[in-house]
Every structure is written in C-alpha cells, then in structure tokens.
A = this chain, B = another copy of it.
Amino acid sequence: MMTRIQYQECIDACIQTMNACNYSYVSSLKEYDLASLRESIRLDRECADICSFAIQAMTRQSPFIADILRLCADICEACANESSKHLHIHCKDCIEYCRNCAALCRSLSEAAVVYA
C-alpha cells in the first residue's frame, strides 16, 4: 500500500527532472551547435511539462495518478534517450534525472493500480 512518503520521493524526483530539463532547454538554446539540439529542446519542454503536471496531480491526490505517472515515465525515458545522443554536460545531467524519475514513476504507477 502506498504511503505519502513514497509520493514525496516521486514528487522530489519529478521536481529535479523538471529543473534539469528546463535548464537543459535554456542552455541548449544558447549553444553554438544549436541545430543538432532541435529534438532535444522539444523533448526537454515535453518532459518538464508532464513532470509539472504529475507533481500537481500527486499533491492533489488525483484518482488518475497511476495513468499520469505511467505517461510521465514514458516521456522521461524518451527524453533520456534523446539526451544520450549529445555530449553537453546539461544533456548528460538530464539522462540521470530522467531515468531515475522514470523508474520511480513507473514503480509508483504499478503500486497505485493495485491500491486503487
């Protein structure tokens, strides 16, 4: 059964991922090799937006949290995969945060399905 403590760990991971993705988004837009980062910029925004949505949903105890977290996990993984094609430090940072967040979201999503 889920506890609020488990949610807190996932909320923290989503915040760190939103932060890392938005930092990478802003940093990418300043890079010299901007053209190679087009897809990365798009996915950084997608990932930050779903993380933001998931954070609010967890704090308001959404009855749809299992599905929201599964979607968040999928988008975090896609963002990590795109980030892994690039060598910039802000892209490398994104990979770690996105993968950790995806694992926590997926694990909590599965627990939430059982709990519901």
List A residues 11-62 near B (Cβ within 8 Å).
11, 15, 18-19, 22-23, 25-26, 29-30, 34-35, 38, 41-43, 45-46, 48-50, 52-53, 55-57, 59-62
How far does the alpha carbon of A56 sit from the alpha carbon of B49 in the complex, in Å? 8
Across the interface, which residues of B come within 8 angstroms of A75, CB to CB?
A: 64
Across the interface, which residues of B come within 8 angstroms of A68, CB to CB?
A: 71
The one of B22, B23, B34 that contacts A35, using a Cβ cutoff of 8 Å: B34
Copies in the complex: 4
**Residue A74 at the B interface, CB < 8 A?**
yes
Q: Is the CB of A41 within 8 A of B61?
A: no
> Which chain B residue lies CB-closest to A25?
B60
Question: Looking at chain A, what size class is its interface with the partner chain?
Answer: 35 or more
Known: A23-B59, A29-B38, A63-B78. 18 other contacts (CB 8 A): A11-B15, A11-B19, A15-B15, A18-B56, A19-B59, A22-B59, A25-B60, A34-B38, A41-B41, A45-B45, A46-B63, A48-B56, A49-B57, A52-B52, A53-B53, A64-B75, A64-B78, A67-B71
